[in-house]
Amino acid sequence: MAITQETLQLVAAARQAVDDIADNATRTLAGAWVTAWDQLALDLVLALDELVATTEGGQWPTRARIERAARLQHALDAVAKALDELTQAVRSQATTAAHSAAQSGASTQAGIIASQLPPTGSRAVVLSQLTRWSERDLAAIVARTTQQITALTRPLTAEATAAMRRELVRGVAVGSHPHEAARRMLQRLEGEFNGGLVRAINIARTEMLDAHRQAAQMAQAANAEVLNGWVWSASLTRNSCAACWAMHGTEHPASEPGPQGHQQCRCSRTPLVKPWRELGINIPEPPSAIPDAEQTFRAMPREDQLRVMGPGRLAAYERGDVAWADLATRRENPGWRPSFVPTPVGQLT
């Protein structure tokens, strides 16, 4: 059970590798969205100018007038077509990235397991006996991820275009100049269009990271005879949430999926090797090097503590109203999977 500094370094490197994969996919998707909007914006500007020019008395056009504006409806149809194409790009890009993330998750496990063994002949012997993960099982993980991405992105076009149409009907104060009114409405339409990007990135990153963890579980399962399970490993920084901090260091059986963090959670599962004596290695075993999350948190600057917990949650913790483990709550999410999230402040006081 000797999680070493070498183990922690390998886990951090694996986390960085999957972050890089997700970041590259995110940049590609964001670039495609920006390019699409730039191509659509001119038609929308002209359509809005034409629409606003027909208004009287400073009132935004009625729903009926908006629906009769042929140029505007043509522009919105173009938006829907662009969103369909972007959704296909999300599926393609995210699936490719998920395959890379899964390969990374599986291929790093042998080194992480070996890092918990003494740097002697014993390590080489155990390492030589580890079972390589199955390419067929890896392909099955990617296939499931692809299905999930497809299902979750299916409503993106309808949701974004419906939101844009709602904005048009809701209207804005026209003011004295129709071009200014069109400019402000265009900004609101752009916000709704980019809402699709926000959702797409959330779906893509979450599923890529889950594929990485599922592949790690697959590789660990192939070598369960040398493992006692896995440890929830969070990045103990001011950018991690209270749930990730609270779950860090918790031990779980090898058969349990996870870490089942929140959307876009970056936590990883660190394989936990059995005690050396159970593996026939009869030398003293060092203590685990995994940091204690609660002690690490207490040593942080207060500004960082507030960023992690927020004022209400931090106050409840400092008063002793809640234990460290109470900061994370399992939430059921129909259509997705369970996730551990920060316990709502109202449930802590």
Chain-centre distance of CA 171, in angstroms?
34
Mean pLDDT of 61-81: 90
Residue 178 has pLDDT above 60, yes or no: no
Chain-centre distance of CA 187, in angstroms?
27
Residue 322 burial (CB < 10 Å; 0-12/13-18/19+)?
Answer: middle
CB atoms within 10 A of CB 115: 22
DSSP letter string, 43-100: HHHHHHHHHHHT--TTPPPPHHHHHH-HHHHHHHHHHHHHHHHHHHHHHHHHHHHHHH
Three-state DSSP at 328 gives strand
Determine the pLDDT at residue 54: 75
Residue 234 has pLDDT above 70, yes or no: yes
256 Rama sector, left if φ>0, alpha if ψ -120 to 50, beta otherwise? beta
pLDDT band at 181 (very low <50, low <70, confident <90, very high): low
Residue 188 has pLDDT above 90, yes or no: no
CA 244, CA 236: separation in Å to the nearest integer?
8
Q: What percent of the chain has pLDDT over 70?
A: 95
* pTM (global) more than 0.85: yes
Determine the pLDDT at residue 245: 98
Mean pLDDT of 62-83: 91
